[in-house]
């Protein structure tokens, strides 16, 4: 869900006096380049889901292999976002963006040409690493292209809307490409878009390199912890227990490293604020519900109900098509009433929507299932903008970028773990496992809604 990136509207600022304008630079072209890149990496969080059954038929690997096709992208995207904002500052936003888009495009080609599942998963990991660079760099391009605050605000809104549209189109595009071409088309379609984004970058302003501290030990510990934990959930058994032990050790190492670092990627004191803790927890719960449901229903429509990839993609359209509009409404509600009320309403609606989906079974009409997906999605979309506002208001202005990175990473991590957990549940009995996952989602949303009541 692209709303999981909307919080970056205040992330990774670039001082105007540090810019080196390109010859005859065009703000509109810079915005278009940034929007294309952001939409591209956002699209890949959802476009692949509908193609998963076709990937499984072609390359094998079972349920765990399909889970890694998704999480191979999500995990490095989430973990590395803790540091890529500082990386973009160090090398310059335009250079970081060019590097990220180039690597992402080449990795997309590698995904499309993958002869076996391990090669596809490896290329997805590289895609995720590149996406983590593109996100903060694309927003920095927008910020530096517009000096006037009002024009910059409109440009950032357009940038965020591009991500919302990409999420809405993701399942439909994945189904159409898989049906008309092949699952490989889901990745090859990135190539022309990436090429256009790079061509437009020539006219974007250039930013100077700025000193920015990097916490490499903390970053590495975070990567190991998240990867090992996901591996433990997906693989289970003896290997999973070993991975769980590695994850615990990595978490302990991460906590110790962050306590000693002068510039930690996640300052321990950040979570002393109740609003920060509630916002991060609510964001994680929303991501578990949204990404877990999209993953499992992509498989449900095709593997259980026997629908084509295109039909499955179209069945998500009522759910995803209203997200962008709901985001705008939620932002206005937060501005008028504060974040607590729309957050509470959104989480309550999402929890009720997850419980409503418990009545979906093998014999349920696909059209009915598509309609029943809408309340949960609208609740999630209603929650994210105000929880982002709550997070931003709870930290000093100079920590806005860091806080946004932590929130965004937490949401991506939660989405990745949700796919691992949902996949493990449905592998032992699809409908029953799906309902357990929905119950977990509803429970998490109910808990975070109760915590939202105490939001300051």
Distance CA 74, CA 121 (A): 11
269-456: CATH topology: Growth Hormone; Chain: A; (1.20.1250)
Q: Is 171 helix (H, G, I), strand (E, B) or coil?
A: helix
The confidence band for 25, taking pLDDT boundaries of 50, 70 and 90, is low
pLDDT of residue 211: 63
Task: Please give the Cα distance from 330 to 318 (Å, whole number).
Answer: 18
CATH of domain 1-10+23-213: 1.20.1250.20
Q: How confident is the model at residue 430 (pLDDT cuts 50, 70, 90)?
A: very high
**pLDDT attached to residue 293:** 93
Question: Tokens 């809104």 appear where?
Answer: 157
**More confident position, 311 or 321:** 311
d(CA 392, CA 330): 16
Neighbouring residues of 281: CB distance < 8 A, sequence distance ≥ 6? 447, 448, 451
Q: What is the mean pLDDT of the chain?
A: 84
Cα separation of 303 and 301, whole Å?
6
> Which residue ranges make up each domain of the chain?
1-10+23-213, 216-262, 269-456
pLDDT in tens, 334-376: 878 888 899 999 999 999 999 999 999 999 999 999 999 999 9
Give pTM, 2 decimals.
0.81
Equal CATH topology for 1-10+23-213 and 269-456: yes
Residue 13 pLDDT class (50, 70, 90 cuts):
very low
The fraction of the chain above a pLDDT of 90, given in percent, is 40
Distance separating alpha carbons of residues 389 and 326, to the nearest angstrom: 15
Q: In this structure, which long-range contacts are made by residues 299-305, counting pairs with CB atoms below 8 Å and at least 24 apart in sequence?
A: 299/52, 299/53, 299/66, 299/426, 299/430, 300/360, 300/369, 300/430, 300/434, 301/366, 301/369, 302/50, 302/53, 303/53, 303/430, 304/362, 304/430, 304/431, 305/362, 305/366
Beta carbons of 323 and 374 less than 8 angstroms apart: no
Q: What residues pair up with 20 in beta bridges, in sequence order? A: 206
For 181-322, where are the alpha helices, taking DSSP H only?
185-188, 190-201, 216-235, 237-260, 274-299, 309-315, 317-320
Sign of the four-CA dihedral 266, 243, 49, 197: positive
């Amino acid at each position: 869900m692209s709303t999981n990136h909307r919080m970056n509207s205040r992330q990774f600022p670039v001082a105007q006096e540090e810019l080196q304008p390109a010859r005859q630079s065009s703000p509109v072209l810079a915005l278009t380049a940034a929007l294309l890149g952001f939409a591209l990496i956002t699209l890949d969080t959802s476009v692949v889901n509908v193609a998963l059954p076709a990937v499984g038929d072609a390359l094998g690997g079972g349920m765990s292999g399909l889970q890694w096709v998704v999480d191979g992208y999500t995990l490095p995207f989430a973990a590395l976002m803790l540091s890529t904002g500082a990386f973009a500052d160090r090398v310059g936003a335009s250079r970081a963006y060019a590097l990220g888009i180039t690597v992402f495009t080449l990795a997309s080609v590698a995904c499309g040409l993958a002869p076996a599942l391990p090669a596809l998963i490896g290329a997805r990991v590289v895609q995720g690493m590149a996406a983590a660079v593109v996100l903060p760099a694309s927003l920095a391009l927008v910020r530096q292209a517009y000096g006037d605050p009002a024009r910059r605000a409109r440009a950032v809104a357009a940038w965020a809307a591009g991500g919302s549209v990409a999420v809405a189109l993701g399942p439909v595009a994945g189904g159409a490409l898989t049906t008309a071409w092949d699952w490989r088309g889901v990745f090859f379609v990135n190539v022309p878009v990436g090429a256009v984004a790079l061509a437009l970058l020539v006219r974007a302003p250039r930013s100077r390199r700025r000193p920015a501290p990097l916490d490499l030990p903390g970053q590495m510990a975070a990567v190991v912890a998240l990867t090992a934990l996901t591996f433990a959930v997906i693989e289970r058994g003896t290997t999973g227990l070993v991975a769980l032990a590695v994850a615990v050790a990595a978490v302990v190492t991460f906590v110790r490293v962050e306590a000693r670092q002068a510039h930690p990627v996640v300052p321990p004191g950040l979570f002393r604020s109740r609003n920060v803790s509630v916002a991060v927890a609510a964001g994680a719960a929303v991501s578990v519900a949204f990404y877990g449901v999209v993953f499992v229903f992509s498989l449900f429509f095709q593997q259980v109900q026997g629908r084509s990839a295109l039909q499955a993609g179209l069945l998500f359209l009522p759910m995803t098509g209203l997200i962008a509009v709901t985001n705008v409404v939620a932002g206005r509600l937060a501005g008028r009433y504060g974040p607590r009320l729309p957050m509470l309403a959104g989480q309550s609606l999402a929890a009720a929507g997850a419980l409503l989906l418990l009545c979906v079974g093998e014999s349920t009409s696909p059209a009915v299932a598509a309609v029943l997906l809408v309340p949960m999605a609208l609740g999630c979309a209603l929650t994210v903008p105000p929880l982002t506002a709550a997070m931003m208001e709870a930290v000093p202005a100079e920590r806005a970028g860091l806080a946004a990175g932590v929130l965004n990473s937490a949401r991506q991590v939660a989405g990745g773990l949700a796919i691992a957990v949902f996949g493990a549940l449905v592998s032992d009995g699809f409908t029953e496992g799906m309902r357990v996952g929905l119950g977990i989602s509803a429970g998490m949303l109910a808990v975070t809604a109760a915590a939202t009541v105490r939001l300051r």
